[in-house]
Chain A
Amino acid sequence: MINIENSSILVVDDDHDIVNAIAALLSREGYTVYKAYNGLEAIDSLMQNDIQLILIDVMMPKLDGLSAMMKIRATKNIPIIVLSAKSEDSDKILGLSMGADDYITKPYNPMELVARVNSNLRRYLSLGAADSVQKENVVRIGGLVLDKDAKQLSVDGSPVKLTATEYKITELLMTNAGRIFSAEEIYSRVWNEDSYSIENTVMVHIRHIREKIEINPSEPRYLKVVWGIGYKVEKQ
């Protein structure tokens, strides 16, 4: 097993400054960083080096990020994080559906970038082997693993401390991933009381859970607010 600290990361962007900045950032974290400035160079570099994660821009000369990603995906299943100035939902959906594991919009928050890189690497390296082991009473959604027996939630392998109420909400939403729960429903099922004057109780809890499990709580990956309707955990 490769240690996370020894992992090699390929950074691809046509803007040399950005590549250099990211390289410095990641080197600081202890990663080995390879650089490429277009899709073709990225593929070449991938051939020559042992690389565990790719950070790739979309708009590049010669071969664009999405096309390069498709070529890479044909042979490798290493995590690929798309790094793009395109912040539209449609762009994100396109990137993710074409094989990206994550999507970070520019200008990124350096801390968030590092966190996401870590998260993706951890999942890939430490949990990749465990993927095949299907335990009973374990719900797995992306990097989230909920062990119902142990009443334990881990994100990308690291356990998260949840209060009892938070755990119950998380369990409810994760077991019914994809389904939207209204605040009342959550309240009545978690508190086992009729919802009356629930005010923002549920929302506050949700926010707390999000802060614990999400890298960027205002752009949540797992626990999402469906505004005006309710809450859900996205199916991955």
Chain B
Amino acid sequence: MILKKRLTRIIAFIISCVLVGICAFQCVFIVNENMKQVDSRSNRDDVMESHDYTHDINHLFDQLWAVSSIYLRNTDKNSRYTCSKEYEKSIKQAMQELELMDISGKLTIENPRDFEYYASCGDRVLTNTTKSAEELKSDYSIEYIKGQTNFFPKGVNWYHQGEKRWYTTNYGLTYYLMYGSLPKQAVALYDLDTTDLESYTDDFGAVLYYKTDGTMPVPENNYRNNEELEFEPANREAFEQFEHDEENVYYALPDERNGFEPNERDIWSEGKNVESVGDMSEVTDTDMYMFFDENSRNWIKVSKDKFQKYDEKNSDITIYIKPSEALISEYEQYQTMRGNIEQDSVHKAMPLIPVGIAGAIIALLLLIACGYDAEKKKFVLSMPDRIFAELPVVFIAGAAAGVFALLYGMDEIRTVLAEYYTNVDMGGIITGSALTACYAIALGSLITLSTRLKCGSVFKTSLTGRILVFVWKYLKKLFSFIRKKLDLRSIRHIEKNSLKKDIFLRRFLIRTAIAAAAEFFVYIATIPSREIEAFLVCSVFLLVLYVIFSFRDHAEIAGVAKQIADMNGGDYSPRTVPEKSPAYGMTNNLNNISDGIKTAVDKQVQSERMKIELVTNVSHDLKTPLTSIISYIDLLSAEEMSPAARDYVTIISQKSDRLKAMVSDLFDLAKATSHTDVSNEEIDAVILTQQVIGDMADKIAQSGMEVRTDIKAQTAHIMAEGRKLYRVLQNLIDNALKYSLAGTRIYVNLDNDEKFTRISVKNISAEEMDFTPEEIIERFTRGDKSRTTEGNGLGLSIAKSFTEACGGKFEVVIDGDMFTANVILPLIEK
């Protein structure tokens, strides 16, 4: 990469500006020099391309046309008038008005530049030279033959001949219309005595006369000066002037009532507007004239046919105008000289081309290299690149506009300054400097823009960008604020992240919209042509498509539903769904939930297993010494000893047995609460209860208590582990036997309701029960707080744990001295 360093780039920038500046200066100087020479000539009146020359030749043409058409047409070779006296008078008056004739009747044609001219009307000729018409032909001459000019003469700045036409009428009017340099644009000649006639002046300056006796048209009221002839507004339009033939509205009646059936196409081809009207009187100015009859004091309508108009041709007029030879030769010389100067300028400018190109190449290289940081080895923004990006854009636009303005106004600057600085081309210096400045500004702006482009920060550095970013930032803050507010109120805000885009809803809306549009289209396409069958077939087809597409969504929802069902069933395996699927978010959420549950369950299972292991180990470690104790107590009791010693041994034996039972119970309890060992099967609670009572019959008999069994159900099928439930009932009855008030009865009841079977054991406590049901179920809590009687306080805990392990509910109700334990187990639904 060249121009790696900033300094070299600055130097290159200056060099480029200097090179381009040299070019600009030189070009401006050359052009100015050139213009100066052209200028010095254009100020002269005596040269051919001057404005005066152009005016003079055009003015001469206008004069000659008027003279030919008006005067020559009505005179013979001897300049005698061939028309009536009235008309002659009218001609003379018109010619004087046009300043083409003096009072004596002599033609006065202005020709300050001594053009050679030849004008003829028919065989009447007016010329100021002896040359024939043919001889006056040249590149510099006006040539008007048969009413047309054939080419644009050389050396004339601007050239126009205006419209020149004329017509005659059957009531004595000849009307000449001549746009041009003459004092009047139009003249009206009358072949009748116009004295005492009413008159008015039209738009072009021609004086028009009229009579109200129906022999001459009456003007529209806006031309009339006579207040007496004021028409009623309703009839204002009942007038037609010839000038109005230019009217480009044709009125067309819808039928042939007026014998006028317009061919619209023809009228159109003439580029005229056609307006249909119901009655011609609405517009009326086409076929009727009105005048006021003094005798009858009435308005009389006269047909248009009465006032005929005949358009006349100019084809009999020929005009040649040729400048003097001296003028021509001077002009030609000047042209040659000018060509030389221009060629010279080009020669002078040629060496500047490589300089300009060099400047441009350097500029191009600068644009490529700009912004490069040799140390960081990448493009970076420097200080000027952080100014708002709009500024350089505006600079470029301004520089471009400045260049255009300078190029256009270069001549102006030069001429203005040339008045003050005669020796130095100050205009050129200023123009050149300004051009160079424009170039430097534009190049600098381009460089900074290019740097930003390379760093991808055009938008960031622009004012617009910053405003947008600013606005966006605050909008985002606002949105997040609103969202937070809403989220606080929304329970479902957790799902929001993934369900933010409800693709299901979006797809449903799009699908429905498309279906509705398609149905509408089908309707439009078929119903107007009465193809009901096609409509029905298409509708059914659309319906099928709609259903098929809907099913696709349904399948996805079904997938999610299945996953939920599987999770409910204990299958926590993650599902994969394509990212584009609308169920993606939901599936992901479910996967996360599954994962969480699985981890929790695994942890729990692991901890339960560890607990069991601990209990197993502890109980094993307890059992081993206990085994020795029991064994040796047994051996000891066989030995000879004093009665007191034997008592002691008996107590130790009893306590060790209790300890043994306790260890066993503890182990069972731990196992039951961990739910690791469940082998439920279908059993009958009725049978079980009877079995337990039977099993304990001897014990009951020993205790002296009475147990009343009341089994109200025939069967009570439940899912439970028989051995566990046996332990539950055994414990409850044991407890009842142990803590009942002597002489009271124990009730064992079994009853079914719709969904559950309830086994209850009731007894009257011997001691006051100053504990809550919750307390008594707790481990190691005993009915007698003094713990004098047998028991380890685990009985109810085991009963509760085992009941729950069998899927049941264990509850204790204390009502005064009555203690009730309920075992509630769900019945199997048959």
| A contact set with B: CB distance below 8 Å | 15, 17-18, 21-22, 24-25, 28, 59, 85-87, 106-111, 182-183, 198-204, 206-207, 225-230
Contacting residues, chain B, for A15 (C-beta < 8 A): 624, 627-628
Contacting residues, chain B, for A86 (C-beta < 8 A): 620
Contacting pair B635 A21 (CB below 8 A):
yes
B638 within 8 A of A: yes
**A28-B638, A200-B690, A203-B694 given; A18·B631 CB < 8 A:** yes
Contacting pair A229 B684 (CB below 8 A):
yes
Question: A interface, by DSSP: helix, strand, loop or mixed?
Answer: mixed
Interface membership of chain B positions 645-670, coded 1 if the CB is closer than 8 angstroms to chain A and 0 otherwise = 00000000000100010001001000
Assembly CA distance A58 to B631 (angstroms) = 18
From the candidates B631, B691, B718, name the one contacting A22 in the complex (CB within 8 A). Answer: B631
Contacting residues, chain B, for A183 (C-beta < 8 A): 687, 690-691
Q: 8 pairs across A/B with beta carbons < 8 Å?
A: A25-B635, A85-B627, A200-B697, A203-B697, A227-B692, A227-B722, A228-B684, A229-B687
B769 within 8 A of A: no
Interface membership of chain B positions 601-641, coded 1 if the CB is closer than 8 angstroms to chain A and 0 otherwise = 00000000000000000011001101111111011001000
A96: min CB distance to chain B, Å? 18
Contacting pair B683 A24 (CB below 8 A):
no
Contacting residues, chain B, for A199 (C-beta < 8 A): 690, 693-694, 709
Question: Which residue of chain A has the shortest Cβ distance to B693 in the bound complex?
Answer: A200
Contacting residues, chain B, for A203 (C-beta < 8 A): 690-691, 693-695, 697
Contacting pair B630 A228 (CB below 8 A):
no
Contacting pair A24 B694 (CB below 8 A):
no
From the candidates A87, A110, A228, name the one contacting B687 in the complex (CB within 8 A). Answer: A228
Contacting residues, chain A, for B722 (C-beta < 8 A): 226-229
Contacting pair A108 B630 (CB below 8 A):
yes
B387: min CB distance to chain A, Å? 86
Contacting pair A106 B687 (CB below 8 A):
no
B134 within 8 A of A: no
Chain B residues numbered 108-145 whose CB sits less than 8 Å from any CB in chain A: none
Contacting residues, chain A, for B624 (C-beta < 8 A): 15, 18, 85, 106
Interface membership of chain B positions 708-728, coded 1 if the CB is closer than 8 angstroms to chain A and 0 otherwise = 010000000010101101100
B: interface residue count bin: 35 or more
Contacting pair B627 A18 (CB below 8 A):
yes
Contacting pair A107 B623 (CB below 8 A):
yes
**A87-B664, A230-B687 given; A206·B627 CB < 8 A:** no
Contacting residues, chain B, for A106 (C-beta < 8 A): 623-624, 626-627
A168: min CB distance to chain B, Å? 17
Assembly CA distance A114 to B660 (angstroms) = 19
Contacting pair B667 A87 (CB below 8 A):
yes
Question: Which residue of chain A has the shortest Cβ distance to B690 in the bound complex?
Answer: A200
Contacting pair A228 B685 (CB below 8 A):
yes
Contacting residues, chain A, for B623 (C-beta < 8 A): 85, 106-107
Assembly CA distance A228 to B638 (angstroms) = 42
B790 within 8 A of A: no
A185: min CB distance to chain B, Å? 11
Question: Which residue of chain B has the shortest Cβ distance to A205 in the bound complex?
Answer: B694
B227: min CB distance to chain A, Å? 136
A24: min CB distance to chain B, Å? 5
B557 within 8 A of A: no
Assembly CA distance A15 to B685 (angstroms) = 44
Contacting residues, chain A, for B538 (C-beta < 8 A): none
Contacting pair A204 B630 (CB below 8 A):
no
Contacting pair B630 A110 (CB below 8 A):
yes
Assembly CA distance A11 to B629 (angstroms) = 18
Assembly CA distance A21 to B634 (angstroms) = 9
